[in-house]
């Protein structure tokens, strides 16, 4: 019987194949009391299980030596080893056994629940989803304790048409599955920033997460159609549907091949206006993908990713090396480094600050100013790297003139310290600000007097404008990029910046969504920054656009109050 399942598409494309169901360990375990004289044996049994898992992870790490996502896999495995060695898991579980005289399986799952509750309190969606890594590590330990194989059984390779269906996947599992050339991933759990999603995107494989019951409803060897762009899985489709999707699959592949031809084409509209298409990156190794897609610069280097998933902060030399690698690889093209956008809840153990609403609390530039020594370390690293390319400093979440003044003062202090140390740097390095708070958008003039360029962070701008917690699924339906207030703020920022000749870019999600490309061009935007994988699609849209034809329609959309009319006009604009 044919039926469809709906989830969150995290990697686009269409795959057609047969289901391959992955087994997974249940985390429900029995609870029983251990005699007092057997407690030490139970603790030793847990230690042995941890050691076995550690060896598994080390073996997997050793097997990852090359490939397009080798660095990504290695980082994931490092994270799992770090979780395994973290005393909040291992030591606490052993203490639980000693205090409660219980079996090791029960103790480790109870400690996992404690950690899960702590992760649920984290505001940042990326960090919150790291709870799945904890679950996956605990799952491995349980497999050893329960006498199951540590590895997910690997089936004989099929003909490259297998679609993996799992309740959840760890990065380590994906490493093994990768050898079998699966054409798509489907999971019951996960989100846009889950590791499964990250891996799928890095491998350019159609993937859908949050399907909830896929593992239960789909049978092994079922014929599946996976539409990663729409987040739809069709189980056991009839021949008519199969034919339709095969045709769409061929068309998508043809389009992908055509897009590659645009890599070296200058992004210019039909009337000859050149548009800068920059890329967003998280780590230095992302530069390869940036170059493959022909970006003319890096518009957003999210430097905070250098600080995540580790026990200690990166020192000045480590940061300097990361920034220098990116600058050199980009060979003189702009590299915009955003100073760390961390928050009070983001792995700064030394800070020990907890806010009731972290999105409105001590994060981004507020944290930088509260931790001047840590900020100075990063500023010195960026400045030192500036002599190796065209590096720019981007300051996140500015809301007041005093924050700009303090930031510029600290940058000058960092410069002077380098002069005192006789370390060269770019004396004229540009400093820009992210406009992602309505207060900043409404008082733009005072920001432009102090800053060299602006970058609009639409994700947070929408969150703060509409009072929508972007991490809260229950209000996700209110997160509206086309809300009149959002569009008017974005248009106001672009118009104001253009009037004063201040360079302005959009680096939020809408910059890489072709639904918004012409609208932003019509508002006057000439610089976009997006995930590298989106760049050629946006470039194609730019090449098809004639600015004189769209400006009036973009202004009509700006004045529209009715959502239906907005969507109608937008469809007309993009037709």
Angle between helices 39-63 and 70-85 (to 10 degrees): 170
Name the residue among 246, 272, 231 with its Cα closest to residue 6.
231
In this predicted model, what pLDDT tens digit does every residue of 491-507 receive, in sequence order? 999 999 999 999 999 99
What pLDDT, on a 0 to 100 scale, did the predictor assign at position 419? 97
Cα 194 to Cα 365: distance, rounded to the nearest angstrom: 26
Q: Which of 195, 240, 483, 492 is catalytic?
A: 195
- The predicted pLDDT at position 311 comes to 65
| Span 126-175, pLDDT tens digits | 677 677 788 888 888 887 887 754 444 445 345 568 898 887 776 556 54
Find out whether 486 and 465 touch, Cβ atoms under 8 Å. Answer: yes
Task: Out of 24, 80, 167, 507, pick the active-site residue.
Answer: 507
Contact 276, 269 (CB under 8 A): no
Residue of 493, 510, 487 whose CA lies nearest to 558: 487
Q: Is the pTM of this model over 0.75?
A: no
Q: What pLDDT is attached to residue 80? A: 84
pLDDT of residue 150: 43
Look at residue 157 in the predicted model and tell me its pLDDT: 45
Q: Any catalytic annotation for residue 507? A: yes
Asked about 409 being catalytic, the answer comes back as no
Give the distance, in angstroms, between the CA of residue 270 and the centroid of all CA atoms in the same chain. Answer: 33
Question: Each residue's pLDDT tens digit in the chain (575 positions)?
Answer: 899 999 888 788 899 999 987 754 445 566 778 888 889 999 999 999 999 888 888 877 776 655 545 665 677 778 888 888 888 888 999 999 999 899 898 899 888 888 877 887 777 766 776 777 888 888 888 878 877 544 444 453 455 688 988 877 765 565 456 556 688 888 887 666 555 565 566 566 888 888 888 887 898 889 999 999 899 999 999 999 999 999 999 998 898 888 999 999 999 999 999 999 999 988 898 899 899 999 999 999 989 888 875 667 899 999 999 999 999 999 999 999 999 988 644 445 444 444 567 778 888 899 899 889 999 999 999 999 999 999 999 999 999 999 999 999 999 999 999 999 999 999 999 999 999 999 999 999 999 999 999 999 998 899 899 988 765 656 667 878 899 999 999 999 999 999 999 999 999 878 988 999 999 999 999 999 998 888 999 999 999 999 999 999 999 999 998 999 999 999 999 99
Q: For residues 225 and 246, is the Cβ–Cβ distance under 8 A?
A: no
Please tell me the predicted confidence (pLDDT) of residue 529: 96
Q: Can you give the pLDDT at residue 350? A: 42
Do the strands 223-227 and 184-187 form a parallel or antiparallel pair, or are they unpaired? unpaired
Rg for the chain, CA atoms, rounded? 25
Determine the 3-state secondary structure of 266 from DSSP. coil
pLDDT at 152: 45
- Work out whether strand 298-302 and strand 334-338 pair parallel, antiparallel, or are unpaired: parallel
pLDDT at 59: 78
**Angle of CA points 134, 136, 138, to nearest 5°:** 70
């Amino acid at each position: 019987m044919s039926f469809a399942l709906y989830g969150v598409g995290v990697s686009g494309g269409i795959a057609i194949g047969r289901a391959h169901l992955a087994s997974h360990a249940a985390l429900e375990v029995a609870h029983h009391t251990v005699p007092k004289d057997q407690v030490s044996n139970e603790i030793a049994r847990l230690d042995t299980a941890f050691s076995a898992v550690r060896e598994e992870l080390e073996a997997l790490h050793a097997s990852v030596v090359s490939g397009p996502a080798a660095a990504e896999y290695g980082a994931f495995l490092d994270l799992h080893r770090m979780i395994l060695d973290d005393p909040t898991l291992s030591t606490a579980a052993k203490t639980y056994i000693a205090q409660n005289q219980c079996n090791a399986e029960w103790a480790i799952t109870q400690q996992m629940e404690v950690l899960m509750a702590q992760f649920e309190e984290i505001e940042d969606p990326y960090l919150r989803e790291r709870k799945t890594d904890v679950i996956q590590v605990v799952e491995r330990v349980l497999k050893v304790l329960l006498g199951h194989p540590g590895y997910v059984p690997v089936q004989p390779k099929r003909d490259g048409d297998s679609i993996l269906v799992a309740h959840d996947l760890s990065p380590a599992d994906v490493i093994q599955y990768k050898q079998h050339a699966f054409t798509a991933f489907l999971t019951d759990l996960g989100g846009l920033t889950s590791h499964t999603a990250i891996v799928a995107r890095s491998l350019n494989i159609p993937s859908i997460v949050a399907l909830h019951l896929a593992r239960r409803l789909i049978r092994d060897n079922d014929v599946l159609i996976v539409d990663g762009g729409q987040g739809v899985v069709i189980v056991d489709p009839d021949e008519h549907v199969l034919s339709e999707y095969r045709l769409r699959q061929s068309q998508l592949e043809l389009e992908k091949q055509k897009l590659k031809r645009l890599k070296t084409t200058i992004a210019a509209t039909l009337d000859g206006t050149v548009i800068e298409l920059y890329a967003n990156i998280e780590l230095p190794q992302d530069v390869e993908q940036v170059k493959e897609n022909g970006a003319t610069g890096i518009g957003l280097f999210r430097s905070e990713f250098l600080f995540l998933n580790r026990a200690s902060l990166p020192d000045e030399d480590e940061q300097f090396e990361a920034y220098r690698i990116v600058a050199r690889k980009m060979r003189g093209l702009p590299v915009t480094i955003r100073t760390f956008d961390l928050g009070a809840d983001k792995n700064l153990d030394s800070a020990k600050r907890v806010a009731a609403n972290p999105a409105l609390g001590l994060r981004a530039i507020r944290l930088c100013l509260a931790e001047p020594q840590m900020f100075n370390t990063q500023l010195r690293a960026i400045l030192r790297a500036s002599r190796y390319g065209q590096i720019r400093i981007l300051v996140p979440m500015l809301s007041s003139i005093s924050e700009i003044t303090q930031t510029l003062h600290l940058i000058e202090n960092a410069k002077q310290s380098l002069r005192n140390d006789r370390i060269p740097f770019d004396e004229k390095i540009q400093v820009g600000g992210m406009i992602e708070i309505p207060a900043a958008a409404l008082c733009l003039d005072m920001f432009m007097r102090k800053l060299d360029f602006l970058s609009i962070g639409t994700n947070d701008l929408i969150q703060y404008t509409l009072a929508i917690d972007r991490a809260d699924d229950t209000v996700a339906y209110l997160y509206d990029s086309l809300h009149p207030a959002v569009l008017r703020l974005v248009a106001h920022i672009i118009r104001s910046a253009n009037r004063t000749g201040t360079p302005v870019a959009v680096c939020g999600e809408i910059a890489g969504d072709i639904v918004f490309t012409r609208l932003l061009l019509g508002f006057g935007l000439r610089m976009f920054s997006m995930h590298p994988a989106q760049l050629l699609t946006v470039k194609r849209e730019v090449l098809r656009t004639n600015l004189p034809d769209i400006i009036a329609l973009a202004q009509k959309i700006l004045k529209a109050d009715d959502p239906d009319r907005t969507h109608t006009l937008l469809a007309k604009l993009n037709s």
